[in-house]
Structure 1
Amino acid sequence: MNASRLTAIGLVAAAGLWIASGHFLPHDKAESRVAARAGDAQAKKLFRVAVATTSVVPHSRKLTIAGRTEADKRVTVFARTGGVLTELKVKRGMAVKKGDILAVLSDEAREAQVAQAQAVTTQKRTELDAKRALILNGTLPRLQLVDLEAQLKAAEAGLAAAEAEHDRGVVRAPWSGVAQDVAVEVGQAAFSMAGREIASLVALDPMLAVVEVAERQLAGVKVGAVAEVRLVTGERTSGTVRFVAKTASLTTRTYRVEIEVPNAEGSIPDGITADVLVPLAPVLATRVPRSAVTFSSAGNLGLRVVDANDTVEFVPVGVIEDEQSSMWVTGLPDRSRVIVQGQDFVREGQTVDAVGVPELTAVAK
């Protein structure tokens, strides 16, 4: 191949390359510009979320604890002296009032002592009355008046002691209640009765609902608060917190709380299982939809909110009460814009298209 032919081929190739560069390169730049504009439009298209403004209000919580009912008072009544049990006026399950006679222990010696003391007292009083006029008009020494008065007082004291010993044979109810058990029978043996159990009584009105409260929850339980009591039988009633222990149980590290419940009819038995709803001190909290509560990338429970620039932030919260469709939480600032739809598809620091929905109103309770 001669030199002129090589030169011609080179010129043709160079021309072809020049033409190709003029045809294709501008086309590639145009496509790049279109792709860039599409990317910018895509970047400007923000993810849309629904946000609702929340309010912080005082919220009264209720602590639900399983407990039991317990008689307000229980006592075992003992015989205070010896004798034969001649009368038994109480039966198991019988209601008694304060001062009612439960049993009578008869002892002839005690009765004789009372009779003797009465006779001596009568004698001394008669002797004093007979000699008082003679002493006052000077017939008898005035010193005898003092002596006779002292003898009468001694006789009256002896009578009082004899009657007190006799009364010990009458066993009475110390307060109103129900006889839970009767441990004796009529005719039971005599002088060994001293110190023997006669009956055990329980006071059922008022009834107590007793629960054990954990140390972390104790601060919110206040004496005088009204609590709801739900018995295992389905019956519901209410009572007043009357006692909050200041010392924890050594075994459970819980604190005893007593709720006093009226039980005039005696319909609530002693020892039945019950759920007690104890009110706690109000706290500032926010009511939010349950569906809005989510987890952060670190696994913390909270809510996603948007700031004034519609940038997503995560706020950790604490749940204090869980309702059917909502939760009461703490830790959320007042007037927060909470993401209630789409919160699981955005992340902290992301700018979103925030669309407002009706404000979440929370009523203090």
Structure 2
Amino acid sequence: MNKSIMLASGLTGLLIIWMLSGSNDAPVEEEVSQSSEGEKLMSVVVKSSDAQLVAKKITVQGQVEPNRVLSLKTEVDGKIIALPLALGSRVKKGDVLAKVSLKTRIAQREQAVANVAYQTQELAATKKLFDRKLESGSRLSLQQANLAAAKASLQQIDYDIKNSTISAPFDGVFDRRYVELGDYLDKGQQVVSLVDDLQLKITAMVPQQQVDGLVLGQDVTASLINGEAITGALSFISATADENTRSYRIEVLVDNNDHRRLVGMTASLDIPVKEVEGHLVSASSISLDNQGRLQVKAVNEDNEVVAYPVTIVRTDSDKVWLSGLPAHVSLITLGQDFVIAGQTVQVSQG
């Protein structure tokens, strides 16, 4: 009996709860509807931007090299008898860098001079006899050949004597020495190395897609690893691409009148290639679309969000120059992450 009473009481309670919940259905729908009708537009802040001409730049890595490095070799054989300058000395054109012993060349020259004189006299005598038909033509030709050989021998000795002294062909730095005093050298052996650091060249490789925009003589700025920035003129563009990298070698000439020690440093070259219309925007305004492309968001005349795909022209400090936007555009600077293309928004000027 008690169980029946308890069961009846439970069913009655459930019925009351169901009736109460049913009576509230209509007011809930009404509240939701009112909430939907009263929804406010998303607010964004925009800033007007007009396109400007901006120089597009490419950046490549390179290194500083001397304009000229010359390895001087001996043109005569002999013993090194003088190395008058210290390694690292700054030299002028014509300064003596090394001397090779003349050995017996002075005596050989005296003999060669005498032989030339003798062969000259012999040729004169033979010619007189030939004119009188007392000597054959072959004898005359032989004497002419003897004189020519004597003169050639003298010229060779004079050449050896002149080149026994190794001099600087240009102003520069005595950078390397490959011999020591007393060494015996064979003809063609390296003696010293001379570096021309009055003018430097910065070399780099430019990708094949970007080489067409380069112009000989244009200014190029290089940022060195020590923080220094130097400017020079583009002096060389290779006519052919590297077989492995498909990139082109370039050279930029830079004056170095102060003889700063920059050779061997790495450099980052900023090379302007052409002018394009662009907008300067904050890097925070750039996002990615569903396909992973760069985009920025703006609003049109109807306050609808428009997403524009863009391309980076160059970067300046914390801002970025972009192409791909209309000449005049209202860019969203605040709230762009919370709106989508086609959405109507409430706009305020920033």
Is the structural similarity TM-score above 0.5?
A: yes
1:116 aligns with 2:103: no
SS of the residue corresponding to residue 77 of structure 1 reads strand
In structure 2, the residue matched to 1:10 is none
Q: Indicate the residue corresponding to 1:273 in structure 2.
A: 266
Q: Is the deviation greater in 51-60 or in 153-162? A: 153-162
What is the deviation of 1:175? 3.1
Secondary structure, aligned partner of 1:54: strand
The residue correspondences of 1:121-200 to structure 2 (distance < 5 A) are: 154=148, 159-189=154-184, 193-200=186-193
- Structure 2: how far apart are the matches of 1:333 and 1:225? 30
The answer as to whether partners of 2:57 and 2:313 remain within 8 angstroms in 1 is no
Aligned equivalents of 2:248, 2:221: Cα separation in 1: 19
Q: 1:209 aligns with which of 202, 206, 210?
A: 202
CA contact (8 A) 1:227 1:259 kept: yes
In the superposition, relative to structure 1, how do residues 280 and 346 fare at CA in structure 2: closer, same or farther (>3 Å)? same
Partner of 1:95: 90
Q: How does 1:1-365 map to 2 (within 5 A)?
A: 40=37, 42=38, 45-120=40-115, 154=148, 159-189=154-184, 193-245=186-238, 246-248=240-242, 250=244, 252-297=245-290, 299-357=292-350
Flag the 1:351–1:187 CA change in 2: closer, same or farther, 3 A.
closer
Larger gyration radius, structure 1 or structure 2 = 1
Q: Structure 2 counterpart of 1:238, which letter?
A: T
Residue 169 to residue 36, structure 1, CA distance change in 2 (3 Å): closer
Give the residue type in structure 2 aligned to 1:77: L
Q: Aligned in 2, Cα 1:297/1:171: closer, same or farther, shift over 3 Å?
A: closer
Gaps of 5+ in 1: 1-27, 130-134, 142-146, 358-365
Could you give the per-residue CA deviations for residues 94-125 of structure 1, whole angstroms, max 9, x where no partner exists?
A: 22333333222233432223223334556788
SS at match of 1:92: coil
**8 A contact 1:99–1:175 mirrored in 2:** yes
Query: Is the CA contact (8 Å cut-off) linking 1:90 and 1:182 kept in structure 2?
Result: no
Deviations 1:36-95 (A, max 9, x none): 78865x36x543333333222221244444432222222322211222322323432122
Structure 1 residues 95 and 39, CA, compared in 2 at 3 Å: closer, same or farther? closer
Structure 1 residue 335: Cα displacement: 1.1
Instruction: Select between 325-334 and 105-114 the one with higher mean Cα deviation.
Output: 105-114
- Specify every segment of 5 or more residues in structure 2 that has no aligned partner in the other structure, as ranges: 1-25, 133-139
Which string of whole-angstrom CA distances, capped at 9 and with x for unpartnered residues, describes residues 292-324 of structure 1? 223335554211222232222211112232334
- 1:19 is aligned to none
Which is richer in strand? Answer: 2
1:195 aligns to what SS in structure 2? coil
What's the secondary structure of 1:281's corresponding residue?
strand
4+ long deviations beyond 6 Å: 34-38, 123-129, 150-153
Distance in 2 separating the partners of 1:226 and 1:153:
60
Aligned counterparts of 1:338 and 1:234: Cα–Cα separation in 2: 35
- The CA deviation at 1:331 is 1.0
Residue type of the alignment partner of 2:187 = A
Cα 1:166–1:323 change in 2 (3 A) is: closer
Identity of aligned residues (%): 28
* Matched position secondary structure for 2:53: strand
Corresponding letter in the other structure for 2:105: R
The amino acid across from 1:196 in the alignment is: Q
Cα distance 1:205–1:81, how it changes in 2: closer, same or farther (>3 A)?
Answer: same
Following the alignment from structure 1 to structure 2, what is the Cα–Cα distance between the partners of residues 157 and 64?
A: 58
Aligned length: 316
Return the TM-score normalized by structure 1: 0.70
Alignment partners' CA distance in 2, 1:242 and 1:67: 15
Query: 1:163 aligns to what SS in structure 2?
Result: helix
Q: State the distance in 1 between where 2:347 and 2:260 align.
A: 58
Contact 2:72/2:192 (8 A) holds in 1: yes
Distance 1:35 1:272 in 2: 70
CA contact (8 A) 1:64 1:278 kept: yes
CA 1:270–1:82 in 2, change beyond 3 Å: closer, same or farther? same
